[in-house]
Amino acid sequence: AQTVTQSQPEMSVQEAETVTLSCTYDTSENNYYLFWYKQPPSRQMILVIRQEAYKQQNATENRFSVNFQKAAKSFSLKISDSQLGDTAMYFCALGSGGSNYKLTFGKGTLLTVNP
């Protein structure tokens, strides 16, 4: 069975500062994908960033980047220059194995960006 753990239920950051959200996972597969999704109050899940496990280079998308530590099974999300619109629930997710469409989600981290 695969698991995803987000140990920070809530975090806050001041606008324009940098924040890092933690995620650890467990899977016996070698080929898998990791994701960070954002869920604002509108409930619409939005993909923030994706990492293929076979790629050593950390993924980046504008202000969002990840620190992927495969041996440690760690996948943290760094948000730079935080904006008020970044306030949302953030979910880490794992897709692995032959049924890698079946994503396993963590419980989420509620991020609040303060003005």
Contact residues for other proteins (CB under 8 A)?
4, 32-33, 35, 42-47, 50, 52, 91, 93, 95-96, 99-108
Query: Shortest approach of other proteins to residue 114 CB, angstroms?
Result: 22
Query: Shortest approach of other proteins to residue 23 CB, angstroms?
Result: 11
Nearest to other proteins of 43, 72 (CB atom): 43
Nearest-5° angle of CA 48, CA 67, CA 41? 30
Query: Shortest approach of other proteins to residue 79 CB, angstroms?
Result: 19
Token code pair at residue 87: 């306030």
3-state helix, strand, coil in the chain (%, to 5): 5, 50, 45
Nearest to other proteins of 99, 115 (CB atom): 99
Query: Shortest approach of other proteins to residue 72 CB, angstroms?
Result: 21
Nearest to other proteins of 104, 112 (CB atom): 104
Closest CA to 4 of 96, 94, 111, 66: 94
Please give the single-letter amino acid code of residue 9. P
Nearest-5° angle of CA 40, CA 42, CA 46? 50
